[in-house]
Amino acid sequence: DTGVSQDPRHKITKRGQNVTFRCDPISEHNRLYWYRQTLGQGPEFLTYFQNEAQLEKSRLLSDRFSAERPKGSFSTLEIQRTEQGDSAMYLCASSPGTGGNTIYFGEGSWLTVV
Amino acid sequence: RKEVEQDPGPFNVPEGATVAFNCTYSNSASQSFFWYRQDCRKEPKLLMSVYSSGNEDGRFTAQLNRASQYISLLIRDSKLSDSATYLCAVANQAGTALIFGKGTTLSVSS
């Protein structure tokens, strides 16, 4: 399968713990995105990378959230000191960066903070 | 005004019906528009891009009205398998990311 891959698919954590999600984009896609989706809402943009450079961050991305894409391939999203309000599906997506803005999502990482 | 707004759902239709969804957007400079389909607890999947001239893919037709800043999706001859949430997506002002609506839920019944 050469689609966007996310790991772990499900994570249950206690409030206050740190969690990290990994995303492997479609090969040779130089754009990578993180979105968050809660029940009844559409995906909300969090951040965007062009290769290894983080070019845009939403105001939704509080200082407890950090994302990296060190070599321009896979990316990680870390949430520190998790809160119950962080419970959501975290979606990674990638795009070739040409031919429009079509993005392709991974299956998502479900986070439950208890 | 929200960046992307969609018709409130849910839409409950019988098999074979024609159903239309609308989506309005606030950024008049947006250049890219899409419809995504999302099944329950799954990721959104691209349904179709929306072109200025309108485009059709089988039973699905998408149209763009730049003057009124809305896009639409028409589904003809609805199937049970069309039951899903349909998300409208519009490129942001910088053209670097997509902004999504909340989605409209369609339920097709036999």
Spell out the per-residue pLDDT of chain B, length 110, in tens: 679 999 878 999 999 999 999 999 999 989 899 999 999 999 999 999 998 888 999 999 999 999 999 999 999 999 999 999 999 999 988 888 899 999 999 999 99
Contacts of A96 in chain B (CB under 8 A): none
pLDDT tens digits, B33-42: 999 999 999 9
Across chain A, mean pLDDT equals: 94
| pLDDT number for residue A57 | 92
pLDDT at residue A11 greater than cutoff 70: yes
**Cα three-residue angle A65-A66-A69, rounded to 5 degrees:** 150
Q: Extract the tokens encoding B98.
A: 């997509």
Q: Do B44 and A55 touch (CB under 8 A)?
A: no
Single-letter code of the amino acid located at A4: V
Q: Tell me: the pLDDT tens digits for A36-79?
A: 999 999 999 999 999 999 999 998 888 999 999 998 899 999 99
Encode pLDDT of B10-28 as tens digits. Answer: 999 999 999 999 999 999 9
B101 and chain A: CB distance < 8 Å anywhere? yes
What is residue A12's three-state secondary structure?
strand
Which pair of tokens denotes residue B1?
């005004």
Closest by Cβ to B102, choosing from A42, A48, A106? A42
- Is A30's Cβ below 8 Å from some Cβ in B? no
Phi, psi of B62 (to 5 degrees): -115, 140
The single residue listed with the structure tokens 């039951």 is: B83
Q: Hey, are the CB atoms on B96 and A56 less than 8 Å from each other?
A: yes
Hey, are the CB atoms on B97 and A102 less than 8 Å from each other?
no
Write down the pLDDT at residue A100.
65
The rounded distance, in Å, linking the Cα atoms of A79 and A62 is: 9
